[in-house]
Structure 1
Amino acid sequence: MRATVVVGSLTAIGIVTAITAGVMTVVRNDQVADAMQLSTVSCNASLGPATTGPAGSGAADAGRLGEEQRGAVALIISIGKQRGLAPRAWQIAIQAGMTESGLRSLNYGDRDSLGIFQMRPSMGWGTPAEVTNPTYAINKFYDVLLKVPDWENQRPGESAQDVERSAFPDRYHRWESMASHLIAELGQVVNATGCGEGVGNLLPAPTAAAGAAIQFALAQQGKPYQWGAATTQQNSYDCSSLMLQAFRTAGVTLPRTSRQQYRAGALLPVEQAQPGDLLFWAYDETDPATIHHVAMYLGDGKIVEAQQNGVPVHIRAVKWTEGELLDQAVRPGV
């Protein structure tokens, strides 16, 4: 059995090496319009954080990939396109493959795990020769993904976990930004997350100041989170520095921290929030002294935020019933 595995793996590596140049050429030569004609997912406002962006939000990790790894990414994208799958599916597969094997078709793993996705022949994923064949493994991954309920409306790492069933479910999120960057670079999908400055059916900003603040915040998407980020630069943000700088461009001065910003405007019921209003999260929803996060409401059930380490500035959906969200929003400068 081991000999079969080794031969299968060597064959798979040969396949990856042979197809790398051809597949990547095909992917690069696809027209942007062709990619966008797929059933692309909606903005990440409904899917959780995922973003393309500059160095520091995925490009650097992508730049460290070798030929075999980039060949695997190109094949994931190519097969995804052939099957008419949305870029969200490609992203999930890239994150899973990077987490499980570093995007390499391995001939070893935990117990009998093999290949790009560390599929186990003993668990019905296929023979050793099949699961170490990148084309088979990618198609098999997609087959299982498509059976996951609501996979397209989850954060990509969560859907990857639903396929892989790992004992460490949170580890797939690490490669989220890199996967989005690769979709844009190799898949030629402009704004792979669906979240540019146009973000769906957003309400118009009620004031010029709110509109200016929103425009600034949206333009920061993809920039990395940094706790305690300086408010004199725009390379990185934490939650409150993003709000401070957004409103500063609009001529409204906010204090530095989220707890202070809660006192920097008029309070209104959170369900009545308008674009540009600030929403707050607290460890104790009845005690503003425990506020730990702030975000800007965009309308249409969406916010823009600098959330946490490892997650760049992004748009996501918000529900008025979600945990730790305060019942009051704040309208700055009022």
Structure 2
Amino acid sequence: MRAVLAFGVLLVAVVTATVSTGAINTVIEGDRQNDMARAMALSCNATLGPMSTGPAGSGAFDASKLSEEQRGNVALIISIGRQRELPPLAWQVAIQAGMTESGLRSLNYGDRDSLGMFQMRPSMGWGSPEQVTDPLYAINKFYDVLERVPNWRDQRPGESAQDVERSAFPDRYHRWESMAAHLIGAVGSVADPTGCGQGVGELLPAPTAAAGSALQFALGQQGKPYEWGALTSHQNSFDCSSLMLQAYRSAGILLPRTSREQFKAGAWLPVQQAQPGDLLFWAYDPSNPATIHHVAMYLGDGKIVEAQQTGVPVHVRPVSWSEGELMPQAVRPGV
């Protein structure tokens, strides 16, 4: 979350724009600093955090349990990444992979002939046993392979870790996402590794300029068919979370793929205080985020745009705050 409310450093000028769905008003105009960052191609990557000061989900607790050896390897990953002029996202991928594969330790054992921090297999051409158990070699080798992964800069860090490691358990790399993001800030001394702004506790900035762009994209998909598991590389069809992902990606903010993951990719606020561009969520048990099964974008004026279910195209509909299964928190992506 950005510190605009705390210090008044950044001013967000709110303008209203009438869109084609009646009396839906959007917040489009952003502050000057956001425009400058966008011109420099600095995107907010909500999949990396965001960097919250609160203990819940910040990764600080997990990071506090790391040993001296583990933190030393984190520092080495970051140092080598800097030397190679790779962005913090690359460090994030390597930290998550190393934590998942070995607990960020250079192991002399593993499954079959897997060895070292990233459990590289000499028999698969990763290097000799001596090389893959050398942290300097292993980290550089990991980065070598990562840089050959198509679109690694545009996807969730755990997905890129899987592309390098090719594990039989692809989802496990996501577990350390928040811890890795925290370490980038704490060990790497990167004040804002996500590009989304530094956390300021419970304070919430005004709706972002990106929200207006995301909203316009989502509205432009009306009438297109629902497809569960729709590809995020085309706009022929959507499911609920792919619509949100592509809408915010068009505005320079990267979201995770699923609705449950997207619930963690921004600042929470009471759902009754949702503003245009904020995400609303539905869960089988609204007190348990693990049961989230649907996401939509709030348009203002008591309306949402969503890809709801098979047989129902992307559409706009009214929403009620007392609607069944609606989560009590809305999410403002990227802040």
TM-score (norm 2): 0.54
Work out the CA distance in 1 between the residues paired with 2:310 and 2:97: 35
Work out the CA distance in 2 between the residues paired with 1:256 and 1:203: 19
Deviation at 1:51, TM superposition (A): 2.7
- The 5-angstrom pairing of residues 33-52 of structure 1 reads 42-45=43-46, 48=47, 50-52=49-51
Deviation at 1:106, TM superposition (A): 0.2
Deviation at 1:82, TM superposition (A): 0.6
Contact 1:145/1:151, CA 8 A, preserved across alignment: yes
Work out the CA distance in 1 between the residues paired with 2:110 and 2:300: 52
Deviation at 1:192, TM superposition (A): 1.0
Aligned match of 1:122: 123
Deviation at 1:201, TM superposition (A): 4.7
Work out the CA distance in 2 between the residues paired with 1:51 and 1:42: 13
Q: Identity over aligned residues, as a percent?
A: 53
Work out the CA distance in 2 between the residues paired with 1:43 and 1:119: 32
Aligned CA distance change for structure 1 residues 112 and 280 (closer, same or farther; 3 Å): same
Aligned match of 2:153: 152
Which structure 2 residue ranges, 5 or more long, are not aligned?
1-36, 198-204, 216-259, 285-295
Contact 1:91/1:156, CA 8 A, preserved across alignment: yes
Which one-letter code corresponds to 1:138 in the other structure?
Answer: I
- The 5-angstrom pairing of residues 174-323 of structure 1 reads 174-196=175-197, 201-203=210-212, 242=268, 245=270, 247-248=272-273, 273=299, 278-280=304-306, 282-284=308-310, 286=312, 305=331, 314-315=333-334
Work out the CA distance in 1 between the residues paired with 2:114 and 2:175: 21
Aligned match of 2:109: 108
Alignment: residue pair count = 218
Aligned match of 1:169: 170
1:62 aligns with 2:63: yes
Listed one character per residue, the Cα deviations across residues 84-106 of structure 1 (whole Å, up to 9, x for unaligned) are 00000000000000000000000
Aligned CA distance change for structure 1 residues 49 and 110 (closer, same or farther; 3 Å): same
Contact 2:80/2:140, CA 8 A, preserved across alignment: yes
Which one-letter code corresponds to 2:147 in the other structure?
Answer: L
Aligned CA distance change for structure 1 residues 74 and 286 (closer, same or farther; 3 Å): same
Which one-letter code corresponds to 1:286 in the other structure?
Answer: V
Work out the CA distance in 1 between the residues paired with 2:97 and 2:131: 18
Deviation at 1:274, TM superposition (A): 6.8
Listed one character per residue, the Cα deviations across residues 5-53 of structure 1 (whole Å, up to 9, x for unaligned) are xxxxxxxxxxxxxxxxxxxxxxxxxxxxxxx9xx9962125xx464322
Q: Report the 3-state secondary structure (helix = DSSP H, G, I; strand = E; otherwise coil) of the residue aligned with 1:116.
A: coil
Q: Report the 3-state secondary structure (helix = DSSP H, G, I; strand = E; otherwise coil) of the residue aligned with 1:117.
A: coil
RMSD (Å) for aligned C-alpha atoms:
4.4
Contact 2:271/2:328, CA 8 A, preserved across alignment: no
Aligned match of 1:90: 91
Bigger Rg, structure 1 or 2: 1
Listed one character per residue, the Cα deviations across residues 159-215 of structure 1 (whole Å, up to 9, x for unaligned) are 0000000000000000000000000001111121111259665549x9xxxxxxxxx
Which one-letter code corresponds to 2:192 in the other structure?
Answer: N
Which one-letter code corresponds to 1:101 in the other structure?
Answer: S
Which one-letter code corresponds to 1:55 in the other structure?
Answer: P
TM-score (norm 1): 0.54
Work out the CA distance in 2 between the residues paired with 1:246 and 1:272: 10
Work out the CA distance in 2 between the residues paired with 1:125 and 1:56: 37
Q: Report the 3-state secondary structure (helix = DSSP H, G, I; strand = E; otherwise coil) of the residue aligned with 2:181.
A: helix
Contact 1:41/1:152, CA 8 A, preserved across alignment: no
Aligned CA distance change for structure 1 residues 174 and 257 (closer, same or farther; 3 Å): closer
Contact 1:280/1:293, CA 8 A, preserved across alignment: no
Q: Report the 3-state secondary structure (helix = DSSP H, G, I; strand = E; otherwise coil) of the residue aligned with 2:334.
A: strand
Q: Which has the higher contact order (CA 8 A, sep 6+)?
A: 2
Which one-letter code corresponds to 1:315 in the other structure?
Answer: G
1:81 aligns with 2:100: no
Which one-letter code corresponds to 1:115 in the other structure?
Answer: G
Which structure 1 residue ranges, 5 or more long, are not aligned?
1-35, 207-226, 228-236, 260-269, 297-303, 306-312, 317-334
Deviation at 1:283, TM superposition (A): 4.6
Work out the CA distance in 1 between the residues paired with 2:119 and 2:307: 39
Deviation at 1:118, TM superposition (A): 0.2
Aligned CA distance change for structure 1 residues 276 and 139 (closer, same or farther; 3 Å): farther
Listed one character per residue, the Cα deviations across residues 231-261 of structure 1 (whole Å, up to 9, x for unaligned) are xxxxxx899x955x154499xxxx99789xx
